[in-house]
Chain A
Amino acid sequence: MKYLCLVYQEEKQEANVPRDQIEQAKKDYWAFAEDIKKSGHYIVSHGLQHTDAATTVRVRNGKLSTTDGPFAETKEQLGGFFLIEAKDLNDAIQVAARIPSAKWGSIEVRPVWV
């Protein structure tokens, strides 16, 4: 079964993170991705640009409206995702818990419709 792991973290805090910690986080992410490729969980993943590059699009009564930014103001922003293949929710939770950002942000685990 496929699960989408959405990685949420505070964009604003990122500017305050020391250089060496960012380097470490990159290494951790690389190692994690290698790990779940080996275990067969990995399908695809991407990091996202910050929400100031985001645009929200709606169509109401046939009219297109375009607004700046993400559609909801929240403390944490969607920063990236991993689409994984897992045996069940417990398996998916175990994988999500190993995503480095789980230590400072949060991971939303969403089962994918089949």
Chain B
Amino acid sequence: MGIEEVYRAESRRVLATLIRLLGDFDLAEEALQDAFAAAVERWPVEGVPASPRSWLISAGRFRAIDRLRKRRREVASPPDPLSLGERGNDMSEIEDYDVIDDRLRLIFTCCHPALNPDAQVAMTLREICGLTTEQVAAAFLTTAPTLAQRIVRAKIKIRDAKIPYEIPERGDLPERLASVLHVVYLVFNQGYFTRADLATEAIRLGRLLVELLPEAEATGLLALMVLHDARRATRTNAGGELIPLEEQDRSQWNREQIREGVALVERALTSRGFGPYTLQAAIAALHAEAPSSQATDWPQIVGLYDVLLRANPSPVIELNRAAAIAMRDGPEHGLTLIDAILARGELEEYRLAHAARADLLRRLGRKPEARSAYERALTLAVEEPERRLLERRLRELSATI
């Protein structure tokens, strides 16, 4: 195995363990680089060690201790994690379960709710996924210096407020896991239209979580992401225009991913404590398995939205339920529900509420109303593929009026 492969496979694990041993993110990152620099020098001569991971952890720790000793000689610095670093020189004591726990510690620390939400996402992509600061900045349409500063602030808070490097206790786990899943889902959604690489990264994170902590909602979220991703190729056309679900070429959906997603949904639904992610994944699974929009099991989808709404009341879910009712009972029934939501003043600024309303008006042949609803949606839409679809709808309406 070459050093590059080892880096890809092991660098995040080694980092997670070094953070625990050294008690400091920055020191651990320097140590990680030092360890790989040493490997580049020594492996070609001495051969790749039997356990590259232990070798790297050990090398990183000793280099870090060296650095700390030098710094101490240069300036009289306050007490540091040196004592930690010197404890237990025998690397064979770093067991696999320690390394697994360290990865979870890193995930829960990066997604700690006491950190700013933007920083949670940035830390996750940088520290857990190993993306560069430039890559993370590009994904979130910000500059590298801004992003770097966000990460620096987060690390300072972790150190100064003493956010512990630990897996939450059982009692705190649901809330803390929700925070982690939210970050993963944000990363996935950021890549929904244009950044397949981010969606892939989110799915990889999802897999890691399920492997390390097989909770129902972690499995549910992975299922949801895999099922959405199975439709990636058919979601936009060559011109970058959004293709709605009913017009997508279902023969192009990724059957392999759908099979995996459906199996994950089934597993999550039979585990204790499943919630919104699992229910949304179950809905996505019904869509994925349907041969066409007409042949979709709309009654069951409405039923799942009912459950989702009870567990998690939200106007957005109400809107999705209304769209499903329109498919089950006819557009006028869906329209009544959407109008009621908008009449409450909720979702007035939500583009998809107006787009869904416009679709139903179009199907009912109420063209002038459909037109103004599409226009309203267009003023609120930001994502280019969505805008293009709305513009096409408006063109089609003009052509037939």
Residues of A within 8 A of B172 (CB): 90
B162 and A93: CB pair below 8 A? no
**A1 proximal to B (CB < 8 A):** yes
Nearest-CB distance from A62 to chain B (Å)?
33
**A70 proximal to B (CB < 8 A):** no
Mostly helix, strand, loop or mixed at chain B's interface? Answer: loop
**A44 proximal to B (CB < 8 A):** no
The number of chain B residues with a CB under 8 A from chain A is: 10
Q: For the complex, what is the distance from the CA of A1 to the CA of B160, rounded to whole Å? A: 10
Q: For the complex, what is the distance from the CA of A90 to the CA of B162, rounded to whole Å? A: 9
Nearest-CB distance from B138 to chain A (Å)?
31
- Which B120-168 residues sit within 8 Å CB-CB of chain A? 160-164, 166, 168
**B114 proximal to A (CB < 8 A):** yes
B164 and A90: CB pair below 8 A? yes
Question: Which of A87, A90, A93 neighbours the largest number of chain B CB atoms within 10 Å of its CB?
Answer: A90
A88 and B114: CB pair below 8 A? no
Nearest-CB distance from B258 to chain A (Å)?
40
**A89 proximal to B (CB < 8 A):** yes
Nearest-CB distance from B77 to chain A (Å)?
15
The number of chain A residues with a CB under 8 A from chain B is: 7
With known contacts A90-B168, A90-B172, A111–B162 Cβ distance under 8 A: yes
B164 and A111: CB pair below 8 A? no
A89 and B161: CB pair below 8 A? yes
A80-93 CB contact bits vs B (8 Å, 1 = yes)? 00000001111001
Nearest-CB distance from B169 to chain A (Å)?
8
Query: Chain A: which residue is nearest B172 at the CB level?
Result: A90
- Which A60-114 residues sit within 8 Å CB-CB of chain B? 87-90, 93, 111
Q: For the complex, what is the distance from the CA of A111 to the CA of B157, rounded to whole Å? A: 10
Residues of B within 8 A of A88 (CB): 162-164
Residues of A within 8 A of B112 (CB): 89
- Which A39-77 residues sit within 8 Å CB-CB of chain B? none
- Which B156-193 residues sit within 8 Å CB-CB of chain A? 160-164, 166, 168, 172
Residues of B within 8 A of A87 (CB): 164
> Known contacts A89-B112, A90-B168; can you find 4 more A-B pairs with CB under 8 A?
A89-B162, A89-B164, A90-B166, A111-B160
B→A interface (CB under 8 Å): 112, 114, 160-164, 166, 168, 172
User: Could you pull out 20 A-B pairs where Cβ atoms are within 8 angstroms?
Assistant: A1-B162, A87-B164, A88-B162, A88-B163, A88-B164, A89-B112, A89-B114, A89-B161, A89-B162, A89-B163, A89-B164, A90-B163, A90-B164, A90-B166, A90-B168, A90-B172, A93-B114, A111-B160, A111-B161, A111-B162
A→B interface (CB under 8 Å): 1, 87-90, 93, 111
